[in-house]
Structure 1
Amino acid sequence: MSTSTSTSTESHSTPEPSNFFVVLNQASGTGQGQQIRQWLTAKLAENNQSAEFFSPSQNRDISLAAKDAVTRAIPVKGTVVAVGGDGTINAVCQAVLGTGLKMGVIPGGTFNYFARNVGIPEDPEQAIDALLHAEVKPVQIGLINDRVFLVNASLGLYPKLLEDREAYKQRYGRSRLVALVSAIATLARAHRRFHLSFNSDNTQGELRSVSILVNNNALQLSQIGIEEAEKVEQGKLIAIFAKPRHRLSLYGLLLRGLVSRLGEAEHIDSFALKQMNVSLGRRRKRVKVATDGEIIWMRSPLVFKVAKPALPLLVPAKPVTGQTA
C-alpha cells in the first residue's frame, strides 16, 4: 500500500503494471463505491490488467485524489477513471484536461447527466464492461474562469437551489422527490435580482436577472425543453437567463422545466455561444458560482467558454442495450 498526505492509495498485484488509475468517491449518491471497486478489480484481473485506487482521505478534497491519480498516470500514459457523480467526474476532469491522458467514467451519482449524455450506462457493472471495450471520443468541456464544468455553471438563484437541495438531502436522503420539495421551498423565499452586462459571439446587452445558467449538456437541455440543445453537439454552450417578475413566475418556470417546456416561458431568454464575458454591478466583486453542483466563490468578470482541446473520453464502442436516457 502506498500513501500520500492527501489520499489513501492501494494497488492490486497482477502480472501487468497498473493500466487504470481510479478516483473513487465512496460518498457519491448510490453508495456503491466499495462494490464497484471489487467488480472493477475482478474484471481487470480477468483481462490481465490492474488498477490503482485513489480516494479522499479524511477532511481532504476529492480534487487532491484526482491530482494524485494524474501524477501517477502520466509517466505510463495510463487512463484516469472517475467513479462517482457529476461532482466527482468534474474534479477528475479538471485534473486530466490538457494532460493528454484518456479519462473513463463509472457513474455513481443521482442524476449522472454527463455519463448518460455520452452513452455510458448508469448500471455500474455495465459501465465497467463498456470501459474495458471502449473507444476514445473527444468530448466538449465548458470552462468558467478556467474552472471545468461538464453539465452546467450558474450564478444567482440556481446556486441557492443547489445549496438548499444538499441540505434537504442530508436530512431526508437523496432522491428526485427530495430535490423537488427543496426547490419549491427555496422559491418560496424572496430572491434579489442583480444587474449585469454581457457580451458573447454575436450578442451583447445589460439586464437584471435572478439567475444565469450556462449549459454544456444536450440531455439536460432537452429534458427542460430548451430548443438550442442540439447546438451543444455543434461546439456551442447554451446561456439561459431567468427574468421572472414575481414569485409566481418562479413557480411557473419550475413547472415548465418539469414538463420539458422551459424554453417556451416568456421570462426565459436563451442563446448559443462559444464564449461569453459577464460583468456584475460595480458593488459586486465576488459571486457564488455553481459548477456541476459544487459551489465556489469567483471574482467578476466571469468568462464562459468551450475548452480547447476537448477531453479524450472512453465511451462505449457500441450502444449498450437497456440504457435509458
Structure 2
Amino acid sequence: MLAMYGREAGQFDAPETLSRLDAVGARLGVALEAASQQEWLTLLDTALAGVGNAVFITDPNGVILWANRALEMLSGYANADVLGKTPHLFHSGAQNLDFYQRFWNAIKNGITWRGEIVNRRRDGRRYTASQTVTPLLGSNGQVSHYVAILEDISERKASEERMHHTANYDALTDLPNRACFFDRLGQALALARREGQSGALLFLDLDRFKQVNDQLGHAAGDALLVGVAQRLREQVRESDTVARLAGDEFTVILPRLATLEAAAGIADKILDAIAAPFAIAGAELTIGISIGIALFPQHGETVEEVLNAADHAMYRAKKAGRNGYAFAEAVAPAAAADPGLVPEHGNV
C-alpha cells in the first residue's frame, strides 16, 4: 500500500494530481514487484545452487525464466543462452510428435509428467534424462509456471544396454544367442497367429566343423564362425533373425514367409554364400552347411515343436550327403507317390 499525506485538506484532489499519483503508484508497484521477483530468484539461486539435478522454470508458454547451474553443466548452454528460450533448444529429434502431444496434454491440464527423454547438448551429443515437469497453478487456478527437474541417466542406460546385449547376444559372432532366439521365435509365432500367416525356421549346422578345430586350431574355428555369421546376415531381410544356438549351430527366423519354395530360395542363397572360400589364417578354407526347413504353424505351434521339426530336417539333410537342405516331414509335396517321402536338395 502507498500512503501520501499533505499539509492541507484536498491537496491531492485535483484530477491531474490524482492521475500523476496513480502513475507514480503504478511505477512503484512494478518496481516493488520486480524487486520481489529478483529477491525470489536470488533465493532460488541460493537454495538450488548445490542441487545436483538440473532445474529450470518456465512461464505458461514454455519460455525459460530461470535455470540453475546444473542445467548449464548438463546441457552445455550458459544461462544467458537459455533464458528467454524454450526447451526446444535441447530438442534431439529422438521423440516423435505423439510423445510431445501426450506430454503437453498432461502438463497443460495440471498433471505432473514423469518420464525419460533424450535431449541434445550444445556440442550435439545426446543424453538421456529422467525428467519431471510439475505445473504450478496461480490464484486463478490456471497454470502460471512449469518446474522441470532433470537427472542425467545416460551412464545407467548405457550400462543397462550393455547388460541386455551381453545377456542376449553371442560374444563371438554378435548374433542373437539361444535365449534371444527363443524369444524372437515366440514373437514370430505370435505374429503368425495374429495375422493368420505363415513363417519359416531354418536350422543350420556346419559340415565337419570339428575337423577345422582339430586341424587348424580353435582360433581358426572361431574366425570361421564369425565369417559364417556375417554371410548369413547378408542373405536375409532386416525383419529376419539370424541366431547362433551353440557351437556351429545357427538358425534363421523368417516371419511372413508363406511357402516352402520361398524358404528354399533363401536356403539356396545361403548355400551359395557359404560355398565361397573363407580367408582364414592366411589360407582359403571351404566348408559346407546342412539346413533343415520348417514352416509354422504347419510344422508346429510352439517354439519347441517348430525347432524340433527344423532340427530333425537338418539331420536328414546330413544323412542325405550334407551341404544341402531338407524339409520337415509333415509337409510332403503332393506329387510324391509316398506320402512319407520328402526330397532333400542341394549339392550333396
TM range (shorter): under 0.3
* Higher RCO structure (Cα 8 Å, ≥6 apart): 1
Greater fraction strand = 1
Structure 1 or 2, whichever has the larger Rg, is: 2
TM-score of the aligned structures, taking structure 2 as reference length: 0.24
Q: TM-score w.r.t. structure 1 length?
A: 0.25
